[in-house]
Amino acid sequence: MDDLVRMTALELLNGYREKQFSPVDVTQAMLSQIARCNPVVNAYNLVDEEFTLAAARESESRYQSGETRGTLDGVPVAIKDVFLTPQWPTIKGSKTIDPQSTLGKEAPSVAALNRHGAVPLGKTTTPEFGWKGVTDNPVDGVTRNPWDPSKTAGGSSGGSAAAVPLGMGPLALGTDAGGSIRIPAGFSGLVGLKPSFGEVPHWPASPFGTLAHAGPMTWTVADCALLMNVLREADCRDTNAIPRRNIDYLAAIQGEPESLLKGVKIAFSATLGYVQVDREIEETVRAAALKLESLGADVTEVAPGFDDPLAAFGHLFYGGAANALRTIGKKQRMLMDSQLVSVSEKAAQLSMLDYLEAVNERMALCERMALFHKKYDLLLTPTLPITAFAAGREVPEDWPSTRWPSWTPYTYPFNLTGQPAISVPCGFSTSGLPIGLQLVGARFDDRAVLRAAQAYQLAAPLTDVRPQLFFENSPEEENA
C-alpha cells in the first residue's frame, strides 16, 4: 500500500496502462490511508467510500475494455469543499448552508475531472466560506499540519494541502483569493499553483470577485502541469474566463533543467522591499535562487518597487466577505465564525469611494507589474515569511496584528494583479517544518512559471521526503 499511496498521478497512469495495478487497488489504498491519517489532521470532511469505489470500478472496467476516458482516468482527486459536486453537499464549512440545496450542481473543475475519468475521493476542509489563511470552521473543527499536527496546515485550502503529503490523494483542488492555495502549499510542503485569473474556469462566481482563482495542489510540478491541462478546459458559465489557448502544460515542462531555464530572467526579492522575513527562510530561498542561477537562469536581486498593498487588498477582500454574508440574517450569523462576521460587518461600512480607491490602487499595481515583467520573466520570493504556527489560531502567538493577511505579504499582491504564482518546496526549518519558494510570472504566462518550477524541482527534489505521520499508525490503530 505504501508504494501506491506515494505514487504521483503520472506514475499511477503509467501503472494502469502497464496493468501493474488497477484504479480499484489504488483507490482502496488511498481510502485506507485516509482512514489512518485523517483522524489526526482533519483533511477531509466528507468521505463516501461506496461512491468512490464505484467510480474506481468503472474506471477499472474502462481499462479492461481498452476504452479509457480522457487524461486522468482512475486517478483519485481530493476536492475542496467550496467546489460544487453533484453527488455530495457543498457546505463551505458553514452551518448556514442547506446541504440539500447544493446537490445536483457541478463546478467547472469538477465537471472537467469527471470528463477525464478522475476518481473523486471526498471533500476537503476549508475555513467558513474560505475567508482566512488557516483552516478551521464551526462545522468541521481544526485542520492540522501533516508534518507537525500541533501546527496549522494553512488555508483556506488547508484540507487539500494536508491530504497530499500524507498520500491521501495525489491531486487536489484548491482556491486562492489572497494566498489560499500557496499559503497551505508553503506551510504543508507541496506544490500549489494560482493560475492566471481566468485560466481555470470557476463557477459560481466567488463572493471575493476577481481576486479568486481556482487551481491545482499536487506533490510534484509535473502533476500540477498534468492537472492544469484538465482544469483549464472551457466552461461557458464563467464569464471571466479568458479565451482558451490550448497550451499543453505537461509538454511545456519536458526537458532538462538547463533547457527549461535557458534565457530566463529572474528577479529575486527576499523582502519585496517591505517584508520582515525569518532569517532561516530567507537563507533557504536565497540558496534556491543560487541553484536556479547555477542552472543557467539570469538571476538579479531586485525588488519590484511597489509599497505594501495590504490596505487595498483588505478593502477588496473583506468587501467580498461582506458580500458573502449579505443575505445571512442576525440569527444565522450567531452560528458562524465570529471573526468572519466581525470583518464582514466592518467592511460593510466602507464607502463606495473607499472601495474605488482600492480599485485604483489595484490597477496601478497591475500596471507596475506588467512593466516589471517587460524586463524580468519571473519574480522569485519566499512563499511565506514564517513557518507554520499553532493550529486553531488566525495569527501566531504574540503577533502584532489580529488578521491573517499580516503574515502572508508575498501572496495577496498577486491576487490583486491576477498573475500566475506557484509555491514549490525548497527546504525545511531546523524544527522540521516546510519552507516554500514562490515564482510569479507575467499575467497569462503560466507556462513560464511551471517551466521554472519544474527546473528547480528536478534539480533540488524533496519529493522523496514524506511526513512521519505518513508511516505511523493512527491513534485508533495503536489503541486497537
Per annotation, catalytic residue among 94, 160, 180, 188: 180
Backbone angles phi, psi at 218, to 5 degrees: -145, 170
- 80 in active site: yes
Which of 314, 411, 408 has the alpha carbon at shortest distance from 358?
A: 314
Query: What SS3 state is found at 201?
Result: coil
Residues 6+ apart with CB under 8 A from 220: 8, 10, 191, 457, 463
Residue with cell 481530493: 78
Per annotation, catalytic residue among 22, 59, 109, 156: 156
- 156 in active site: yes
What is the Cβ-side half-sphere exposure of residue 6, based on CA atoms within 13 angstroms?
A: 11
Instruction: Write b or e for each residue in 306-333: b if 16 or more Cβ atoms lie within 10 A of its Cβ, otherwise e.
Output: beebbebbbbbbbbbbbbbbeebeeeeb
DSSP per residue, 221-245: HHHHHHHHHHHTS--TT-TTPPPP-
Per annotation, catalytic residue among 80, 92, 132, 291: 80
Q: What is the 3-state secondary structure (H, E, C) of 370-439?
A: HHHHHHCCEEEEECCCCCCCECCCCCCCCCCCCCHHHHCCCCCHHHHHCCCEEEEEEEECCCCCEEEEEE
Would you please indicate which residues are annotated as catalytic (active-site) residues? Answer: 80, 156, 180
